[in-house]
Each structure stands twice: as C-alpha cells, then as structure tokens.
Structure 1
Amino acid sequence: MPQNEGAPVSYANQSACLDVATGCFRAAVGDRSGPCSGTHERPCHIIRQLTACNELLFPARMQLREIPGARGQLVLVSIDGSCRLLPEPLDFHLRQSAGFMHSLLKHHKCVASLDVTRSHFDKYSSPLCDALPLSCLKKLTLSCGFPMSRGICAVIPSLTSLEELELDCASSSDSCAEFPMALAALVRASPFLGALSLAGISMEEQATKHLLASLTESGVLKDLTLDGRVVPECCHGELSQYLMSSSSLTSLRFTDESEKTEIAVLEGILHSRTISKVCISAYTGNAEIIQLVARILSENTVVKSFAISSTREEVFLADRVAYDTWLDALGENETLEKLWIFYRIWNRQQWIRFTHILSSKQRLKVYIFCSNKNDHLFTHVCRTLEDSGVHDKASCWLYLVKDNADLLKCKVFSGLFFDWDAHEGLQVTALRQLLDCSHLKSLIIDIRRGNLAVSSALAEYVQSTSLLRELQIEVRIALADELHLAGGAWWRLIVNSLSRNNSIKDLNISGSDMSDGDVESLVDAVSAKTKIRKLTFGACGMMTLNAFVNRLSVGIMGNHTLLDVVLYWPGWTKGKTQRGSCSPSTRQRPETRASWRLRLRSRRLLTHTGYTVSRQVNSRFLSFTPNRYSAAALERICMRHTELLEDLAELMEVSVAEINGMAHRHLRRTASLDAHMRITGVVKERVVCHPRDDGRIQLDDLGEDCWEMVRRFLMLDDVEEAVIHPENRSAIPAATT
C-alpha cells in the first residue's frame, strides 16, 4: 500500500504490466490489456474471464459484474465495504489493479456502469478523472466528499453517454456552484440522461437556477431524486416552475424538511401533466401542505403512485380533522393505483370510512407504515381492513410480535417478526399456529443457544411448511442452564428441518459463539438445496466465517441455483468497522485469503446464473430474439436447471407450465442444424459440406430425426467461441457457408 493512507494511487505506465499480470490468488491472470471486442452481436471476451479479471481488480477492492437485463454489459463496483477486515494488498498488486481499472474504463465500452464509494473516489480520483472522459458509461453512482473536487466537476460535462447519474456528497453547509454548472452543461449536451439523483450537496443559488432552466429546456429527464437540502429555499419558485412545465419527468422522490421547498414541490406536482410517481420522505404536515396534498389527490389525473412518510410521527397527529380532506379526495380519485401512508394519519372512524372507499376502487392498493408498533389504533386498523374484506388491497408488511400474537391471522401481513425480548411461551404458541397462516411468506426470529422449546417449534414449522420463502434466524448468547441441558440437540433440530424444507429461497443465519461443527452442519444442510437462491451468513469472528466458506466451497461449482452468497460480521456498520476481539490476527490472514479465493472462483458462476435469470425476466422474454448467449442461457436452464423456470414464472406472474412452453418454443427456433450452426457462428447462412470421394454421409445429409438425436448430447455452449479483437476483424474473411 502507499505509505500515506488515502493518498491517490499512481496509474501511469501500468498498462504494460497487464500483459504479464498476476492475480492475488493465482499465478497468472493472462492478457487483460486488449481492447474491447464487444459488438452488437457478440459480447466482449472479458465476460468469459470475469473470475480472472476480478482477481486482478481485488487489491483495489473493485469487482466486475454482469448487469442483469443488459446482455454483454458490465458494472465496475467498489467492494471495499466487504473487505474491511482483510489484510492490505502488496503495493505492486495495488498499482497493477489500479492500472487495470483505469484501462477498463478507458478502453472497454462494455463497462457501462461504475459504482464508487467515497473512500475509493478519494484514493483513485486521479485515474478515474483521467479515464472517465473516454469511457462509455451509461450509469455513474458516485459518493464523494464536499466540497467536490474540481477534477470530477471538469469531467461531468463530457459524460454524454450517461443515462443515469447518482451523486451522494458529504453534507455541508457551504454551497457549491461548480457542480450545478457542470451538471447543467451535461444536461444540455446529453440526449440520454433520463435519471438523476442528488443527495447531500448544497447548490449555490444562481447555478441552481441555471441547472433548472437547462433541465426544462432539455426535456429528457424522466426520474429525479432530491435528498436533503439540495435546492436552496430561494430557488423554490424555479423548482416549482420546472416541475409544472417539464414535458418528460414521470417520477419524483423528494426529501427536504424545509416547508417552503416542500410547498413549492407539491404545487409543481399539482399542475404537472407528466409526473405519475411521487414520494415525499420528509413530510412536514402543516395546514397548507395538507390542503395541497388533498388537491393533488382530487384534481391531478396523472399521479398513479403517491407515498407520504416522515421520521417524525407527530406531524400526523396535529390536526386529524384536516385529513378528512384526503378522504374526500380519495373518494373522487379514479387514477391512483398505489398509496403509501402512516397508520396514525386517521382515527378509527376515519379508517372505517377509508375501507369503504378502498372497497369501491378496482385498482387502488394501500401500503401502511406501522413503525413496528402494536398499539390499540394499529390493531383497530388491521381488524377494520380484515373485517371489511379489503385485506387483498392492503399491506402492512411484517407483523411485530412482542406482547401478544392477536393479529397473527390478519392477511394484511406478509411476514412475521418476533421482537428480541418476546416471551418464550408466546414464540412457541405463535410458531405452532403458522401452518394455518398461508399469507405469511417470511419469518424473522431470535433464538437463544440451547433453547430447546423454541427450536423444536421452529423446526416443526420449517420442515412442514411449503409456503415460507424467507427465513432469518439470529442465534443469541445462551443461558448457561439451557445450554447445559440441551447440548447440541437444539441446533440439530434446526439444521435437520432446513434439510427437509423445499420452499425457502432466501436464508439468513447469524450468531455468536458458533462452533465449526455448527457451521459445517448448516452448510451441508442447505448447500444441496436447489430452492435456495440467496444465502446470508454472519458471525462474530473471521475463523467462523472461514469455516463457513471453506465448507461451502466443496460443492459450490456444482450448484447453479444458488445465485447470491453474502458474508458479514455483525460488527460491520455503515462506514465504520468495529474493532476488538473479532479483528483478524496475522495467523488468520491465510484463511481470510482462502475465503476470498472461493468468492472470486465462484463469482463467474453466481453472476452468470443470476444474470441469466434476470435477463429473461422482462417483457422482452415474450418477444425473445435469440442470439448465441441468450439462447445458450435459456437452453442451460431448460435442460439442466429447471428449478429456475419456477422463479421465472413467479416473477412474470404466469404458471410454470406456461413459462415452460414459452421457453421451449423459443428454443425450437435454434433447433435445426442450420439454425444451430448459424447462431454459434460456425456458418453464416447454412451448412454445406464438400462431397466425399467414398460417398459417406456428411453433416448436411442428416435428417431432422438424426440431428435431433445429436442435439441431445450437444449444447450451444459446447461449440467453442473464437475471440476476435477489433483490430483483427478486417483481416478475417466473412463466412460464406
């Protein structure tokens, strides 16, 4: 590492080193310095080499990933938050890694997205600012300090290929003029910038007005997020005018505790004819604002999704009579489809009135913030929604069980969350009733080590249910008497139940004082399950995490349905690392490297499989246009990993039989001999073989039945793909057969 912590890393003259680059785990990574070979028909060659590329990027704590839904496009993302306890890399590896990152951004148009944390930007600002003007980024997510560096402000206007820009700055009372001017220049120059998110930056008055004017003139931006005091109060008139007159903006998320700015935003929404999705996250709730919201709900015929929330509950208690105007407006509104509100906004009588309104609306659904409280009003709200028969139009998400479980069977909840100090008897009773609660799909529970009663009730439910999709278990410190009496039986019950369950897709287990045997038995129970898509494990101690990873690595390459593995230590917090007994010692570091070796070795499998599923789950699946990679991915799912078709059917909201039929119809388009050879790039049009002197049968003599028999043993991925670099394309003659 550089001697000065946080000093910018030099990237000069690093490209030459990439020809003989070595990763931090394997001896040779290979040639990564070639230019991008991606075309519209063929993704770049580095997509097939992500594991090796990520080894080279690892010292800089960066990672390449495939972008779901975007064939052949990659995102370069910071992973420093996951590496806080790992040993520092060698200085040579760090310089080499920074040089490769610089080369990727500068020369590979397949790198379409960049996500950089504040610590990364501070360290690599020089190579980033040098490479970004020559990049082809479509999305940039950047966290940085304040005031912003002149380097990034100078770069922003040149990023004309950007479609999305997310900027999060350290909060500051000082206003900035350089950034809004740079952003205004980008808005004027870019024909693609459709999404903009700004947080934590205070912009100077005249520069802000110039930016809002540029946004109005551009007519391209569709999605705007303003978080914090981004727009000064003196510009609230210009902000309101922009929202009113924008011809392109359809989504607005706004967080600002300034009443004047909030009023300006609501006035702009009221008169907008394009904004259909609104989220106000710092609602202040004075009389004028209440009336403006009522007018939006009654007069605006464009808004389909409206969310109101606040961190201060008292803003909803000031004048409940005034909120009658919202009920009047909702009764007249025939456009709104989704409404997010806090349960304390109305009293009991008002909620009864709202349920009558909700029952009369065919499209409206309500999502209720409950702040994890089970007071009398909240109980009344849930009972009213249930008794009125509108539970299918309302959602309260998780049900917090603390003192009682009276609302366990209310269908407005989709999950159950046991409070950490919920009584043992209450937990056991509730768990034994869960098989009768088909509406509950997720469960969060804390268990003390050795608590046989709760473990037994949980195990009985887990091994019997076919409806549970998400399970989160936190194992807490045991009472000495309980642990002595139960021994390891309590844990064996849980592990055995997980091995018998066939419905859980998202499993999250964390705890302290877990032995290697506990961890290994858990991995053995879940690693062979084809239903689990995401596995999260947390432990206070790197040795425990290493035991988990080493056991999981035994069979990870054969598991094509596990899409995501997350490891964490409960001491990791946002932006900080808690130091103490859990910090890695020198002796632990080789095992730490082994853990990350698994993560990098399995990354190609995890990202490619997840990308395969996500890529198909969109409207384009209905009008599937086959190419080598999409057809090969679909073929692999249908022939080897049919479990993933269930996920596809669930996300597209169709039956498994229907999605299976659609998939096989798509595959039939590449089933013939000519189509197979064409899509794999073997021939340009059709297969034509030169006649043999001995008259023996040739490939093009095979009938459909014979070729179908061959195809049972031949997949698209079995045909080797030739990597063609851009500079060599002109020298390669086009195929004629």
Structure 2
Amino acid sequence: MKKAASDRCCSSPEDPAFLSLELGAGQPALPLFRGRKTMDGNADMPQIEGAPMSYANQSAYLEVATGCFRATVGDHSSPCSGTQERPCHIVRQLTACNELLFPARMPLQEIPGARGKLALVSVDNECLSLPEPQDYRLRQSAGFMHCLLKHHKCVASLHLRRSHFDKYSSPLCDALPHSCLKKLRLSCGFPMPEGICAAIPSLTSLEELQCSLNEMNCASYSDSCADLSGISMEEQATKHLLTCLTESGILKDLSLGRRVLPETCREELAQYLMSSPSLTSFRFTDDSVKSEIAVLEGILYNRRISKVGISAFTGNAESIQLVARILGENTVVKSFVILYIREEISPGHHVTYDTWLQALKENVALEELSIPYQIWNLQQWIRFTNILDSKQHLKKVNILSDGNNCDHFTHVCRALEDSGVHEKVSCGLYFVKDNADLLNCKMFSVLYFGLGVREDVKATALRQLLDCSHVTCLTLDIPRGNLAVSSALAEYVQSASVLRKLEVSTGFAVVSDVSDAWWTLIVQSLSRNNSIKDLNICLSDMSDRDAESIVEAVSENTNIRKLTFGVCGMMTLNAFVNRLSVGIMGNHTLLGVVLYGRLDQEGQDASRKLFDIYEATRRNSGLLAAAAAFPKATDVHRYSAAALERICKRHAELLEDLAELVEVNVAEIGGMAHRHLNRTASLDEYMRITGVVKERVECHPRDDGRMQLDDLNEDCWRMVRRHLMLDDIEEALIHPEILLAATAATT
C-alpha cells in the first residue's frame, strides 16, 4: 500500500533504506562521517573502515554533532515536531542548525507567510573565494541535509545549484522521495541530472518547480559532450517526468530554462501544458523554434494557466501567429511577458506583428503585458495607445528596451507619454549613452550609465535628477578621483527621497595621486540618505579604510535592507568583513548581505565572521517572514504574533517592509498589526496564547487574602502588559517522541 505524503515525512530515523552517502558524482560511496573531532579539533570520530553508515549510526552521530564554531551539541537527529498549532522545534534552533549546515553553504531560512515552514537554500559562492571546509564538517552537513529532507515536513522548499548537486547528489536523491517539498528550484547544468529527474515524480506535494541552466556551465559543454550525454536516457526520463506531473495534478508553477528539456520531448511538453489541471504559472526559455511552438500550442488550449513568461522569443512566423491566437482567444491568461526577441526586426517585418494589435483589441482578460519595443513601428504604437486607453482591465504595460537608445525607441517613448497612457506604461530601464534626453520621461524608473559614458554627461544627468521624482534605481561607474561626478552623485543621494536602489562601481583612477575627498563625499551622502534600501558597491584597488567606511555608513543608516559588496583587482574582502562582523548581531534592520571577491584570512576565523554576518541577516529576515503570516490568520498564532509584536514594539522601521511583503498599503499596516495584537492584550488571552493556561486565569485564594494575578483589573493589567512581550514566557518545547506518543494516545 502506497504511503501518504504525511507518512513519508515522518519516517523513522532508523529506516534502513539508505546506507551510504556519496559526496561527489562518480566517486565511491563513503561512510557518512569519516571522523568527528573534539572541541580541540584533533581527535577523529570512531569508524569501522569500509563499513557503510546506517541510519541508526547516522542518528547517533547527529545527536553529538557540533557546530563548527561554538562546539555546542544541538537536537539534530529528532524527527519533525511541527503541528498546526506550533512550529517544529528546529525553527527555534535555526542558528545551531545553520552552524552545522554552514560548511555546505546550505542554510535554513523561514518562508515568508508560511507559518513554521522552512527553505533549504543553496548559497552561491562562485564569486566568493573562501577556504575549503574540513572534510568531516562537510560530511556532517550532508548528513543533516539528508535528515532534514527525509524526516522534516516543515522543510517545504529546496533550492539547489549545480555545485551543490554535484557534491551531494546521492543523499539528496535518496531523501527527496521522502520529503514534503512544495517548491523545488534547480539551477543546474546540462544535461539535467538523471537522479533528479527520477526523484521529482515522487514529490507528491510539489506545487512549484523551477529548472534553469547556468549560462556559465552552458558555455563549458561542447556539442560533442552534449551528444555523448545519452539523449535517449534523458528523453525517457523527461517523458516520465511530464507524465507524472500530469497525473499528480498538484503542480501550480513551472519554470523551464534553456536546454533543460530535450527537443524530442516537445510533444509531451505540449500535451502536459494542454491537459494540466493545476498549472497556473509557466515561464519558458529555449533556443529551439520547435519547442517554442509546442509550448505556445499547449498554452493556447490550456484553461488554467493565468501567467505566461517567455524570456527569448524566436520571432518565428508560426510562433507570432500562435501568440496572436493566445491573446485573442484565450480568456484565462492575465499576465503575458516576452522579455526580448532574438532576431533583429527590420522595418518591413513590423507588419508581421500587426496581428497582435488586433488580438489585443479583442482581448477581455489580460491585466499585465510586457513586450519589446522593436515589434511595432511608430504608427502601430500609436494604434496601441488607443487600444490601451479603451482597456480598463489592462492595468500595467512594460515596454522593454534593448539598450541601444535608437531614434525609434525615443519616438515610441515620446508618443506614449504624449498619448496620456503613461500612467499605465513603464519603460523600466533607461540606458544613458551620449545624452540623457529622456531623463524627464516618467515612464522610466531605472537609470543606467553604461561603460564609456562621458563624465560630463554623468555629472549633468545627476544634477538633473534632483528634479526627477520617478527614478527609484541608479547604476553608474565612477573613475577614482573624479570630483565632478562624485560631488554631483553625493548631492543627489543625500537629498533623494524616492531612490530605493543604488549601484556604484569605482573604475581606474584618472590621475595617479588621488585624494580621498571624492570618496568621502559619497560615503557621507549615504549616511544622510533616508530612502535607499538596496546598496550595491564594487571597489577596485582601493584602501582598507575606504572599504570600512562603507560599513560605517550602513551602520548609521537604518533604511538599508540589502547590502552587496564586491572587490576586484588586488583588493580583498578582509577589512570589510572584519568591520561588518563587529556588532553585526546588534543590527536588526539589515535583511541580506551578498559578498564577492577574495577573502585572505585563516579558514576558521574568516568563516566564523561570515557566519555571524549571514546569521544576523537571516534572523532579521526571519522575523519578517514569521510576522507575514498574520494577515491571513483566523486565530492568533503565538509564533507569528510574537514576531509581529517584536517588530511593532522594537523595530517599527520594518513595518514598511512587512507591508511590502504581505502586499498591503503602508498606511494600513500599522492599524492591521495593532488590531491583531489587541487580541493578545487581555490577561486571559495573553496567558492562553503563551501556553500558561488552557482557557482563563484562575488563582487559588491565598490564606492571607493578598491580591492575586486574577485580581488585577483591566487598567492594572494593561500597565503590566506594556512591559511584557509574548516571547517573555518561554515556550515549552515538546520533544517529538512525547508529541507522537500523545497523539497516538488520543486516537
């Protein structure tokens, strides 16, 4: 009899089905732990040479496995204890869990709005040069990953990059069929690994699947290697996968990257898209015309898919006609996106896309449309503005540029702005080149100064930005020592009120002897800015003090949520990491840090500093993730309510981020949170939600007649409650074995 998904998620750690783990593709199977070192890092774990590690031994070793920095033993081997009422015990132990997972760069993170659900995320370290972890630490990480996927139904999402799949293919493929994943994201190379193809059909809870090809890996495979990969095996695995996805009827979101599925499976792919009863979102990237036609045919006849995304449209005549039919006949698709067209469109070719105009005129369902500007000539775009003006349901149109800023693009932007439909239309990214003539066009929100733009053009445009309230993102390169550009940037940044993202890179110095004045201006402006949330800085051959000054600016600015910092040339990340790690646990507003460059420090010391940085931002983003569950809650859940209370009382600056996360108006989030927390205000409710009592507070009378807790009137309790947090009462941790026994006793 086939086990249900919930049964598989709670399988016993003593399950003998898996006996050994393989750390690398093509390598011999090895015992799970070769050796565990004591706190001094010298003694090896006991082992029997040549003997595979059984689940019983795996569980025993996980019980004594220590983190790589604090040498503390956590509860790593117990099965999932999550219920509808309370999250799994590991949610309260994420720091200890992530310390064990850190050598593998696969941390656990809380999923926003999904009460108590966790994601196992592959961290991209390809651009960050780090010392290699010790072998036994990697084995501990592999064993814990296997345990999490196989025995914890709270792990609902998994993101794998190629490097991680290559290292941990065997434990991952063994654990996946037993997992309760709802989302699987694969950033793998070509061909798609056979093991993962075989495991996906067994994921009976899967709702979202993303498969993409790493472009860097793609370039490393020659045609001969692709031919030798065994196309028949890949074809059969793919066909089986599509058949199982159709039969399961659960998958809601599917993304397929370039060359993930072989062209020979296009008929099966089309059939899946036509008949899938659950799929509502589909994104597709491929170079094959035949595969593209198959995809479009499937979408045309599907009556469930509401979101369609095609990254690279071939421009094939048959594909153009199929898109016209989808826009004209399909009444379900509400969002249709084509990012770019791979072929150059000649002036005489515009007529081919005329059918899209007629189809849009007939369309009654589309709410969002993204298309490249090249498909139509100016007269066709004017016709489109008339259609758009008459479509109340079509609320958002994105016109995508190729960065050439040709006269045709300029004329299209002017025509759209003059037509009065610009409030519905966004042109997104404006590539500044020889001039910034379109800077005042309100359809642009992103300003990008590419390489080669003259410095006088940059300085002039930056000064003009002071009068532009529509630009929310700015990207530019500043040659070291250029005071004109840096002063113009500093003046804009310190007064900007709508700029949300800033990307700055420093190029080569214009003179050999450069003072610090130009850089000081930029750093000081960052400290004074009150709008930037995403800061991306890349330095080339600058001093350690220059790198440290960025950390100081970020520490003074509580608005910054994401920090990306990179170095190139002879520079290292040492000074930046050292400075950022000091006091990072006291920062409660930074939600993410991305680093790229070289870190020249001893392994353990550098790794600990990085862990502290990543864990602090994980803690902060986890607070938001937990609080994000409150708008949909019919009852007050302690875990999410406690997170919401902490934000409101201690970190109110995160309320705007919470509003964005739960997709409500910023002006409304404070009132919504206050009303929800009011349900925890009374004495009885506070004590019930925190688990002190089941229903209400009743105290035994004292012999001396003195006042008891239940004698407090509402006003007195309200004064006490002001100083109490829901987290002030320690949550009783019920061990999984006790929980299972209690559940069995009541059934």
Separation in 2, partners of 1:52, 1:489? 44
Farther-moved stretch of structure 1 (213-222 vs 665-674): 213-222
Aligned residue in 2 for 1:408: 439
Farther-moved stretch of structure 1 (413-422 vs 239-248): 239-248
Compared CA separation, residues 730 and 213, structure 1 to 2 (3 A) = closer
Aligned residue in 1 for 2:601: 589
Compared CA separation, residues 316 and 228, structure 1 to 2 (3 A) = farther
- Give the Å deviation of 1:652: 5.5
User: Structure 2 counterpart of 1:225, which letter?
Assistant: S
The answer to whether the 8 A contact 1:368-1:395 is kept is yes
Aligned residue in 2 for 1:579: none
Q: Does 1:513 align with 2:575?
A: no
Count of aligned pairs: 688
Structure 1 residue runs of 5 or longer lacking an equivalent are 179-201, 570-581
* Residue number among 655, 662, 665 corresponding to 2:672 in the alignment: 662
The answer to whether the 8 A contact 2:307-2:334 is kept is yes
The answer to whether the 8 A contact 1:35-1:107 is kept is yes
Identity %: 68
Aligned residue in 1 for 2:384: 354
The answer to whether the 8 A contact 1:472-1:509 is kept is yes
Compared CA separation, residues 222 and 127, structure 1 to 2 (3 A) = closer
Compared CA separation, residues 318 and 24, structure 1 to 2 (3 A) = farther
Structure 2 residue runs of 5 or longer lacking an equivalent are 1-21, 33-52, 219-225
Separation in 2, partners of 1:162, 1:425? 54
Q: What is the TM-score normalised by the length of structure 2?
A: 0.85
Farther-moved stretch of structure 1 (218-227 vs 332-341): 218-227
Aligned residue in 2 for 1:139: 183
* Residue number among 531, 541, 547 corresponding to 1:503 in the alignment: 531
Separation in 1, partners of 2:208, 2:680? 35
- Give the Å deviation of 1:602: 4.5
For the residue of structure 2 that corresponds to 1:115, the secondary structure is strand
Q: Does 1:203 align with 2:235?
A: yes
The answer to whether the 8 A contact 2:197-2:238 is kept is no
Separation in 2, partners of 1:151, 1:210? 13
- Give the Å deviation of 1:235: 5.5
- Give the Å deviation of 1:650: 4.7
Task: Deviation per CA, 1:486-542: give whole Å up to 9, x if none.
Answer: x11111111111111111111111111221211222211221322111111111279
The answer to whether the 8 A contact 1:317-1:345 is kept is no
Q: What is the TM-score normalised by the length of structure 1?
A: 0.86
Compared CA separation, residues 560 and 229, structure 1 to 2 (3 A) = closer
* Residue number among 399, 405, 408 corresponding to 1:374 in the alignment: 405
- The residue correspondences of 1:548-567 to structure 2 (distance < 5 A) are 548-567=576-595
- Give the Å deviation of 1:399: 1.0
Q: Does 1:301 align with 2:331?
A: yes
Separation in 1, partners of 2:384, 2:493? 37
Q: Does 1:675 align with 2:705?
A: no
The answer to whether the 8 A contact 1:236-1:261 is kept is yes
When the two chains are superposed, the root-mean-square deviation of aligned CA atoms in Å is 3.0
Compared CA separation, residues 250 and 683, structure 1 to 2 (3 A) = same
Separation in 2, partners of 1:47, 1:660? 26
For the residue of structure 1 that corresponds to 2:84, the secondary structure is coil
- Give the Å deviation of 1:231: 5.7
User: Structure 1 counterpart of 2:304, which letter?
Assistant: T
Compared CA separation, residues 266 and 111, structure 1 to 2 (3 A) = closer
Task: Deviation per CA, 1:586-639: give whole Å up to 9, x if none.
Answer: xx332x543432332344442233133245557x61555321111101101111
Aligned residue in 1 for 2:617: 606
- Give the Å deviation of 1:698: 0.9
Aligned residue in 2 for 1:96: 140
For the residue of structure 2 that corresponds to 1:319, the secondary structure is helix
Separation in 2, partners of 1:357, 1:492? 51
Q: Does 1:494 align with 2:526?
A: no
For the residue of structure 2 that corresponds to 1:480, the secondary structure is coil
Q: Does 1:701 align with 2:731?
A: no
- The residue correspondences of 1:265-276 to structure 2 (distance < 5 A) are 265-276=295-306
- Give the Å deviation of 1:215: 4.8
Q: Does 1:263 align with 2:293?
A: yes
Q: Does 1:432 align with 2:463?
A: yes
Separation in 2, partners of 1:685, 1:3? 52
Farther-moved stretch of structure 1 (723-732 vs 355-364): 723-732
- The residue correspondences of 1:723-734 to structure 2 (distance < 5 A) are 723-729=733-739
The answer to whether the 8 A contact 1:563-1:610 is kept is yes
The answer to whether the 8 A contact 2:378-2:408 is kept is yes
More relative contact order in 1 or in 2 (CA 8 Å, sep 6+)? 2
Separation in 1, partners of 2:589, 2:391? 40
- Give the Å deviation of 1:261: 3.5
- Give the Å deviation of 1:84: 5.2
Separation in 1, partners of 2:344, 2:634? 52
Farther-moved stretch of structure 1 (604-613 vs 379-388): 604-613
- The residue correspondences of 1:126-275 to structure 2 (distance < 5 A) are 126-142=170-186, 152=196, 155-167=199-211, 172-173=226-227, 174=229, 176=231, 202-204=234-236, 215-229=245-259, 236-237=266-267, 239-275=269-305
* Residue number among 112, 115, 119 corresponding to 1:68 in the alignment: 112
User: Structure 2 counterpart of 1:612, which letter?
Assistant: L
- Give the Å deviation of 1:132: 3.0
Task: Deviation per CA, 1:91-127: give whole Å up to 9, x if none.
Answer: 3323333222222223322222222322322222232
* Residue number among 31, 34, 45 corresponding to 1:10 in the alignment: 31
Farther-moved stretch of structure 1 (710-719 vs 97-106): 97-106
User: Structure 2 counterpart of 1:560, which letter?
Assistant: H
For the residue of structure 2 that corresponds to 1:475, the secondary structure is strand
For the residue of structure 2 that corresponds to 1:72, the secondary structure is coil
Q: Does 1:33 align with 2:99?
A: no
